[in-house]
Amino acid sequence: MREPVPRSGDAPGPTDPWGATMTSTDRPTADSRDDATNENARPHPREMFIRFLLDTVREDPYPSGTQLDLIEESIPAAMVPEYVEVLIEKSREGCFPSTDVLRRIQRMSAGPGPSPRC
């Protein structure tokens, strides 16, 4: 192990374990930290917003078209399968599924590319 080397005349700033002043390229970044800190990280605010709306849609027997629009305008690609699953559950709850909800399922399950005509 290296012995700390005292440095005089260095600009004030963070130092490494050996007393050397760290430059911006030496400092730890969010990407270089342990995964343990990332496990405890809060979800992205957009994901929190979508989860809030998805929970509301799950509980509501007749979800608001406005809430569904907000979800579709903001949803990250990774959450689309969960959203489609919620819509399918909603469609199974009643005897007569909403045409609007069925079209949303169709549109969201189509994947990237041109939107189907409605």
pLDDT tens-digit readout, 51-106: 999 999 999 988 999 999 999 999 999 999 999 999 999 999 988 999 999 999 99
Q: CA-to-CA distance for 58 and 54, rounded, in angstroms?
A: 6
pTM over 0.85: no
Helices (H), the chain: 35-39, 45-59, 65-74, 80-93, 99-109
How far, in Å, CA of 39 to CA of 16, rounded? 26
Which pLDDT score is estimated for 78?
Answer: 94
- What's the residue count for the chain? 118
For the cut 80, the answer to whether the pLDDT of residue 27 exceeds it is no
Domain ranges of the chain: 45-109
What is the pLDDT at residue 43?
86
Tell me the sheet residues that pair with 15.
Answer: 21
